[in-house]
Structure 1
């Protein structure tokens, strides 16, 4: 059985949620259609691979509408988890990646024993090499 040639289409990610397009694509374009994130000429979007034609304007509108609903549900879930402070921009809630120890600014310029070093860093390197 010969496989049919696959067409590749790019669409911008604007107003499209990745989860929604992933869920809806095969419904619209059939079981052989795939989608993945793809950057074209510096612009983020999605690369759609399908044996037939790409999504119609109506299908893209439907995906955008479902994406908006998805973002609204996510924002509502986030605001329920932190109800005391509503955000002006719920989709831009900061996510903590790492937390500093709080001692970084205090330790700067001190050696291992907690004494303030009077020599610049480069001098320390030079003095080590001159000892050898």
Structure 2
């Protein structure tokens, strides 16, 4: 981009509140044309987006539309995380752990104690 083109571009900042970065990145050129760009930008300590465009910035209706689409995106991501955590498959299913015994299981601990008593060398001496 040449300096003359750069100086003819308008720059606008909007706060990031209720706006998903992926949504604004995908929608911006649809609303403002192919020359429009957006990037994360902090202004006076507040995070937001710096929009560079040859024309006017987004209208209130366009920002509302982006906010609605952002909310839908967050809901889809949350649903995917919730469903993905319980049905996630192991990368190597052949190495899945197989439970042999569990700590505190009364049945297995009784068997172990019985085996210990039976094999105790002191017990043989007492007979």
After superposition, what is the alpha-carbon deviation per residue over 1:11-70, rounded to whole angstroms, capped at 9, x for unaligned? 000000000000000000000000000000000000000000000000000000000000
Partners of 2:84 and 2:52 in 1: CA distance: 38
Q: Name the larger-Rg structure.
A: 2
In structure 2, which of residues 26, 30, 33 is the aligned counterpart of residue 27 of structure 1? 30
Partners of 1:52 and 1:75 in 2: CA distance: 36
Aligned to 2:71: 68
Residue 82 of structure 1 deviates from its aligned partner by 2.2
Partners of 2:66 and 2:86 in 1: CA distance: 29
RMSD: 1.5
Q: Which 4+ runs in 1 deviate beyond 4 A?
A: none
TM-score, L = length of structure 1: 0.60
Partners of 1:81 and 1:56 in 2: CA distance: 37
Tell me, which stretches of 5 or more residues in structure 2 are unaligned? Answer: 88-127
| Paired residue secondary structure (1:82) | helix
Aligned to 1:123: none
In structure 1, which of residues 18, 23, 28 is the aligned counterpart of residue 21 of structure 2? 18
In structure 1, which of residues 41, 44, 47 is the aligned counterpart of residue 47 of structure 2? 44
Partners of 2:48 and 2:71 in 1: CA distance: 16
| Paired residue secondary structure (1:20) | helix
Length, aligned pairs only: 83
